[in-house]
Amino acid sequence: MEAPKLKTGERLDDLQRNGFQIIQNPEKFCFGMDAVLLSAFASAGKGARVLDLGTGTGIIPILMAAKTQAKELVGLEIQEESADMAMRSVMLNDIADRVRIVCGDIKEADKIFEPASFDVVTTNPPYMIMGHGLRNPEGPKAIARHEVLCDLDDVLRAAKIMLHPGGKFYMVHRPFRLSEIFVAMTKHRLEPKRVRFVHPYADKEPSMVLIEGLRDGKPRLSVEPPLIIYKEDGKYTDEVAETYGF
């Protein structure tokens, strides 16, 4: 396929999956390991409808298109520039028959999509509470990292409304907010079912947590073995290298 015409500051990155590539602008925001880990932690059955809240440049729907047999993967993104890059990446990878990008606000998801119409909702939301070290609240990186345009409650409310009863919710976040996350998930009827902590090294505290919830599920939480990113010599562990393609 003919390479797309990149705009000023953009680059084309190889995703190491199915020959897929993604358009990004490092001056704005690029996806991190958290998005890749979430795309692998999440599951979607054959024929499933998946919604990614705050999709950025579309990394999670694109990676899940490579690893699942989901029928439709929709990415919702409020920043027009990011949504445009995501749309062009979808066209580049020739997956427009399965992946769709919508430019819109998470807080208005119930006006954009039919409620209870998705089997799976994924999200890699802003981790930081508004004001924590924030210098430019209007910048794309600030919007991606800080709760500027939406907060945790907004994300969970949208996920609850979009999922049908029994639908699955997947999120990656920071462990320091875990108690708040569990309280908010329960409030929005997204029962925490599975968690996995991600550690940079075996002897270091976790830097991320992967969470699975179930819409209207019954209480019972499973804690999976920790995922370790690096060996002592700084190389990726075998699981990260083999399972996640790093």
| % of the chain surpassing 70 pLDDT | 88
Contact 77, 51 (CB under 8 A): no
Place of tokens 């990614």: 52
107 burial via Cβ count (<10 Å: 0-12, 13-18, 19+): middle
What is the domain partition of the chain in residue ranges?
Answer: 11-243
pLDDT, average across residues 112-118: 98
pLDDT, average across residues 164-185: 96
What local confidence, expressed as pLDDT, does residue 146 receive?
42
9-18, 25-34, 191-200 — which one is most confidently predicted on average? 191-200
What local confidence, expressed as pLDDT, does residue 179 receive?
95
Tell me: the pLDDT tens digits for 87-106?
A: 999 999 999 999 999 999 99
Q: Which superfamily does 11-243 belong to?
A: Vaccinia Virus protein VP39 (3.40.50.150)
- For the entire predicted model, the pTM comes to 0.91
Q: How far apart are CA 221 and CA 8, in angstroms?
A: 47
What local confidence, expressed as pLDDT, does residue 155 receive?
95
- Interstrand relation of 11-14 and 190-199 (parallel, antiparallel or unpaired): unpaired
What local confidence, expressed as pLDDT, does residue 132 receive?
52
pLDDT, average across residues 183-193: 97
Tell me: the pLDDT tens digits for 25-78?
A: 998 888 999 999 999 999 999 999 999 999 999 999 999 999 999 999 999 999
Q: Is the pLDDT of residue 131 over 60?
A: no
